[in-house]
Structure 1
Amino acid sequence: MMKSVTAIATLSLISRSLSELNFGEYVTLVSLGGVFLALTNIGAESLIPKIISKKDSGSEFYLLKLTATFLFCMIFLIICFTYYRNISWQYILIFSISFFCYFYSYSEYVANQKRLISLFSKISISIQSISLLLKGLYVYYGGDNIVFWLCIFSVEYLLTGLISYLLLKEPVTFKGIDKSKLQLMMKDVSFILLSSATIAAYMRIDTLMISYYLGSDAAGKYFAGSRLSEGVYFIGISVANIFYSQTLRDNIAEKKTVSRDIKKYILFLFVLGVAGTSFINLFSNMAINFLYGKEFSVSAKILSIHSISIAFVFIGGYLSRLYIGCGYAKKNFRRTFFSLIINVALVYYMIPHFGISGAAYAMVISQIFSSFIMFIIDKEFMSRLAKGKI
């Protein structure tokens, strides 16, 4: 919850701090960089619970994560320097530091699996509260430099991950790497990465295409609304992580209630999502005016449109983890890639005809398809869930 509040409040402060040009540059860097930052996680949400449950050293995971950090940082830099030459090279290099600050981001999943999520939450809330205070003071005293916002973006990740790593006492080691395990994990990770790439891409492709067709100002206003909806998504995804870890523990313990519990978790996520949609539609205009001002009034419509898919995104967050846990990493890639194609096609058609509202509807359709329909039509997966065989 605090992560969502901080993300929303931060964007509000940034919109008041920076010029439209710098705000557009920040949005572009975060949108593009966020895609590759997500990839450096290499499916930690699914791999870490298994590593902790089996009491493995995890050396193969850490090696792959370090490699991914360097690889995706380089890809990010190449794309920026090739296609976004209008953005200052200093800003691009400063943002690239966040890739290395993000290394310990997997600590959340370690804490969750060790049933120490309360410890991680306290660390995260403390750092984000202090960070939010500093941001507020910076804006209050007239701060208007994009460098500050890029630096604090990285520092938050570094402190949260590093402090959690030190307190959780789950050492990072590169000793005793098993080549057969590494090859097997690389195979799984390759499909997880491809799936993550497509998910991250279609979560940001709309903003980047709006920037291309309609300009950075329109992209900024779209991002303001979509970012609020993503803040709500964080809540459901966090709950989904907890449910997945519990399902995994129950499955290892061979409990007979696994199938029934899966249904209960899905129902809970659906009800939670519907409640979120109702809440957003009641307060979207008020929230946008309060956070960004009347000049961002169009963002309220984007927020309301995006809220339609909240329940499906919540359920999809849980089902996608079960899907990978069942060994369907390759099928998961096909699912997400097909959803990306649908989203790109819809966005390409709807932006020129309906503007940023068209992009929002395109996102909703693709999310419902990816997060719900594609799982439901997989009879083999549904059969395994019905039998409680994860």
Structure 2
Amino acid sequence: MRIISSLNSNYWLRSGSINLLQNALTLIISFSSFYFLIRTLDKTDFGVWVLFMSAVSIMEFARTGLISKSLITYLSSAPSNAHNSIITASFAVNLSLTIVLAAACHLLAPLFGKLWDSPQLVPLFNLYIVTFVISGFLLQYQAIEQAQLQFRGVFLSNLIRQGTLLAFVLYVYFNDRHTSLSALVQVMTWGTLAATLVSHYLVRGTFKLWGKLDKYWLKQLLQYGKYSFGTSMMAVVSSSIDQMMIGGLVSATSAGIYNIAVRVTNMINIPTNAAATIVFPQSARRLEDGGNDAVKSLYEKSVGAVLAMLFPAIIIASLFAGPVIHFIGDDRYPESIPLLQITLVSAFFIPFTKQFGTILDSIGGVKLNFYVTVVSVALNALLNYVFIRHWGIVGAAVAMLISYLILFVATQLILKKILGVRTGAALVYAFKSYGEVYNRLRHRAT
């Protein structure tokens, strides 16, 4: 218990404040880039950009699933004398997967261009291969730092990577210049390179690559990572499949219209992603120190804390969906208003399902998490296909809501059986936090 208390007082305050700052800046930069980009590009180019980013995100998240979680897990639990062997094996897996995915990107580019009736996608995918190779090293360095329960380098490198694109978009917008989608990809490449160099500088003294691979650790990383890889890939496919299907069944422009509503919902869920970043390495340690009860408490409290932040944002955004859409996408995207009102309801379930995967991966349940994700993706794809064909882009929003509702019920039943998690406890923690904030404010006022 003393160990857990020490971790709480140091780890959560330090990493929590850094992640809060990182995610606040990520929100600002992401929103700013989106806000000015949508005013710089016409509706067709913006729709093509949405489809492009949806596709490359699948590659990025798939690689992250195989590399990052397995590396963090074993570096957090293995003795220090094995760290260099683990990192060397992870680098080898990373490089191999990067080559395979880069080749697939090149080969599948013409298919995507034809599927979405957007031939300009082909050069974009080929340009992005350079960015993808560089970001593989960035992923490796950030995972090493997170395994050491440090987040400053992750914060700085992400700030550089995202800020570079924002700076370029601002330059184009305020100087009333025209830009191409290819130029945007090239700027992303330079930003990723700068972020990678900074991240390497900050972790370079913490490890040394060995000359030969340790087959034991190579096998361990692959054994753990294969399910995490599949889970991450399925999860990002699930989050992008609606936009991809809209692009194929309706149009690229419609994908851009739908993306506006989804992006607002994702911005509201920034606290969910921040919590997942902190919870994953902490959960692995809680399991060793306090067992299942400690992990159960961690899940309930982390979900409750996120819900406390989400409730006001969801309510306000729902009541003022019209002004929100007009502010973000100007008067060219009124079709996004009803979409936002539907997708915002889905936001309530995301903390539960997001932390489900995080907790399950951290306690060794990657296989079960993979199977749950595969089933949810298949269900999501089926619902999207049926509803989009009948209702167009509104059908995609309805499919999202139904998918999250079903996944929410399933994950809560699983966690109750494995850890004894109580769904109501998270809600209690959420509403208790309001009382604590009120009492503190009243105490200060007096």
TM exceeds 0.5? yes
Q: Displacement, 1:332?
A: 1.5
Q: Displacement, 1:231?
A: 2.7
- 1:205 maps to 241
3-state DSSP of counterpart to 2:61: helix
Task: Indicate whether 1:144 and 2:179 are aligned.
Answer: yes
Work out the CA distance in 2 between the residues paired with 1:243 and 1:312: 18
Among 187, 190, 213, the residue aligned to 1:155: 190
Asked whether the 8 Å contact 1:313–1:368 carries over to 2, the reply is no
Deviations 1:243-291 (A, max 9, x none): 2322323333448755433322232223233233224224433232122
What is the root-mean-square deviation in Å for CA atoms of aligned residues? 2.5
- 2:98 maps to 69
Percent identical: 17
Asked whether the 8 Å contact 1:11–1:224 carries over to 2, the reply is no
Among 17, 28, 39, the residue aligned to 1:16: 39
Matched to 1:71, the amino acid is V
Q: How many residues were matched structurally?
A: 385
Matched to 1:351, the amino acid is I
Q: Displacement, 1:127?
A: 5.2
How has the CA–CA distance of structure 1 residues 126 and 212 changed in structure 2, closer, same or farther, with 3 Å as cutoff?
Answer: closer
How has the CA–CA distance of structure 1 residues 338 and 130 changed in structure 2, closer, same or farther, with 3 Å as cutoff?
Answer: closer
Q: Displacement, 1:205?
A: 0.9
Q: Displacement, 1:379?
A: 6.0
Deviations 1:203-259 (A, max 9, x none): 111111111121111111111221222233333112122123223233334487554
Deviations 1:289-331 (A, max 9, x none): 1222111122233223222122321232222122122222222
- Structure 1: where are the runs of 5+ without partners? none
Task: Indicate whether 1:37 and 2:74 are aligned.
Answer: no
Among 260, 273, 276, the residue aligned to 1:224: 260
The 5 Å alignment of 1:156-305 reads: 156-169=191-204, 170-171=206-207, 173=209, 175-254=211-290, 257-305=294-342
Asked whether the 8 Å contact 1:226–1:306 carries over to 2, the reply is yes
- Structure 2: where are the runs of 5+ without partners? 1-22, 423-446
- 2:402 maps to 365
Among 70, 90, 97, the residue aligned to 2:130: 97
Deviations 1:56-113 (A, max 9, x none): 2222222111111111122222222224144233222112222113211354444444
How has the CA–CA distance of structure 1 residues 121 and 222 changed in structure 2, closer, same or farther, with 3 Å as cutoff?
Answer: same
Matched to 2:315, the amino acid is S
Work out the CA distance in 2 between the residues paired with 1:132 and 1:211: 26
Q: Displacement, 1:375?
A: 2.1
- 1:116 maps to 150
Asked whether the 8 Å contact 1:95–1:150 carries over to 2, the reply is yes
How has the CA–CA distance of structure 1 residues 245 and 186 changed in structure 2, closer, same or farther, with 3 Å as cutoff?
Answer: closer
Work out the CA distance in 2 between the residues paired with 1:209 and 1:292: 22
Asked whether the 8 Å contact 1:343–1:363 carries over to 2, the reply is yes
Which has more radius of gyration? 2
- 1:350 maps to 387
Matched to 1:207, the amino acid is Q
Work out the CA distance in 2 between the residues paired with 1:140 and 1:260: 49
How has the CA–CA distance of structure 1 residues 32 and 367 changed in structure 2, closer, same or farther, with 3 Å as cutoff?
Answer: same
